[in-house]
Chain A
């Protein structure tokens, strides 16, 4: 079953799987798929070992999935790497190792690099570096404003031509309403999605959720209003300009309600949430544990529950890892001084499946939020098992339990908030453009 030994000139068949693809109406359907020249050529119950053999495929080109789940490769819409500029934290190559191990076939990388991705030449650099070094697909976003400074619009048209799939100022929110209104209007002319971080710069100066816990810990808090005010302002500007808008990450229950109403009003708006905010709350910070220092901050259990409900009912469109590698230098510091962010590419899918196991979110909703919807928002040919599409998928043992060990993660940085957590659901095999990019070493896991 070694991937290295298959005949690359011939098609490959993945048989005896349970297929999941909400867009194709596959929801655990027994069957398989056939891959040729990097694309899926057939999907369904009729792709069996016998059918593959009768097509003349040698045994090494027929992969038995042992009844495990075969899912579209994930499209992670919010990934920070360190390339260019902070390669000691993460390169496109190391991030792609983590992605492959997590079933993520496409990483949407943020422009917060050095230099900032605000010029067509840097978009081109990232695409070239990704082709040369990354195992999975990389789609760059570009800055809304030059240097992420929030003052002057970047060359949105030229950046799109160079291959940027959306514009965002990454970790930063565009603070000026005037600049954001203009950028939205201008981006609309190019049908470019604008992704904004929703946090008011003035109110968002704290280091954790503002509440009883921050009072007890003696840490400056970030009130929910920092997000609510920013989100409501952004939605008003969308109403004014008609642009496609995506709120990068929500953290509050009330934000979900605001998005629900905006969608009812027919605004072209979507939103995301990080997997961390669906599984964790502020209490996880415990004794000043900086790996739980996230932006937006982890909030209360009520907020977490409302976010999960928002994903389940479709108000929240996208789940992201918000993968943000930080080194010991930036995390082993007093809480207030430590950097925000956590790695997450490798744990995204197992963590998301825990919501399925808990009965909170059905797996088909999870797959929409993790693959199909981000692909649609960004105009990518991804997130589906439909014939004709690129063969980006992963094989998952849904019940296999494993303990997260930070040092064993593939990312160059190990700042995971899920250290020692036991997840049920493990990625066994990841395929991008028909090629195996990850295979779990321990094949002993069975369905």
Chain B
């Protein structure tokens, strides 16, 4: 496999930005995954391409995330872009700057790509309306985290070979999870059968309307699952407001070997990280033979390379037009 299609520069995405998976078609998703698959090899060979030479990518993280930020940084650099990290939490926002002030400042710097992570839903959308570059949503509030869903999809496709009729159980804090929302949308669109499993306090209202099967018990939701995707439970949710305690959560919703045995024999275990070992997942499972958690991290870089490349192609076309 080579980066041939990448060099062709064929357009992949119909949109200028990647705010969510909600707007992506099956064809677009498939093309992104195919391209990402090629970048897995590039990444494994530690090759550095020059596709984005002269392009500037700014990582704007209003919420700290070492993993996602590093992944985007590496992806941009492997494609040859100049990558700049702005950690906003500690600088201008603390001095009272609004999101739109930040957008104006950025416009003055003329970047080509803006990777944004924000604690509030809709922030990526708002920035996209106000900046002149392409925006990639790296997670906004509880709304979407499209590159996470794409990397999860790529991991699933590599193991299951397809999406049609694959049963995927997403377990944990669905209510507050952008990862869950993006995954539900993307996997359902690709033909997978998505289940969500959580205590009622961690389900969004009218969860069944999202096109998923809803369970409140792992024992009922796990049988027949091809993929068990665990979500991170934030510590602040476990103090009695949503969940009585860590130990109770682990007792009823933690993924241990006995519960995993309810899923299909060849089921894989996923987690977007960082994990709370002994809360949502047992270490034996997290580090066990069915865990693909480390592979997810690897797929993250490849998928982000594909997304950056795809959006950069659109910029090139715009300039040419």
Contacts and interface: CB of A to CB of B under 8 A. Distances in A.
A153 B251 contact: no
A182 B201 contact: yes
B251 to A, nearest CB: 6
A397 B242 CA distance: 52
A8 B45 CA distance: 84
Nearest to A182: B201
Interface in A180-197: 182, 185-186, 188-189
Nearest to A185: B200
A238 to B, nearest CB: 13
Interface in A245-293: none
Contacts of A145: 240
B251 A157 contact: yes
A409 to B, nearest CB: 39
B111 interface: no
A156 B244 contact: yes
B70 to A, nearest CB: 36
A157 B241 contact: no
Contact of B252 (A146, A151, A157, A182): A157
B278 to A, nearest CB: 16
B248 A152 contact: no
Interface string B195-237: 0000111000000000000001100000000000000000000
Contacts of A411: none
Given A185-B201, A241-B200, A153 B217 contact: no
A157 B199 CA distance: 11
Contacts of A152: 239-241, 244
Nearest to A156: B244
B245 interface: yes
Contacts of A182: 201, 241-242
Given A152-B241, A153-B240, A155-B244, A186 B252 contact: no
A158 B248 contact: yes
B200 A186 contact: yes
> What size tier do the contact residues of chain A reach?
10 to 19
Interface string B101-112: 000000000000
Interface in B121-172: none
B200 A153 contact: no
A149 to B, nearest CB: 10
Contacts of A151: 240
Contacts of A188: 200, 216
Contacts of B239: 152
A241 to B, nearest CB: 7
Interface string B168-208: 00000000000000000000000000000001110000000
Contacts of B241: 152-153, 179, 182
B67 interface: no
Contact of B201 (A154, A155, A158, A186): A186
Contact of A157 (B240, B242, B248): B248
B259 interface: no
Given A157-B248, A158-B247, 9 more contacts: A146-B240, A151-B240, A155-B245, A156-B244, A156-B248, A157-B252, A158-B244, A182-B201, A189-B200
18 contacts: A152-B240, A152-B241, A153-B241, A153-B244, A154-B244, A155-B244, A155-B247, A155-B248, A157-B252, A158-B244, A158-B247, A182-B242, A185-B199, A186-B199, A186-B201, A188-B216, A189-B200, A189-B216
Interface of A: 145-146, 151-158, 179, 182, 185-186, 188-189, 241
4 cross-chain pairs, A with B, having the tightest CB-CB distances, nearest first = A152-B240, A185-B200, A155-B244, A189-B216
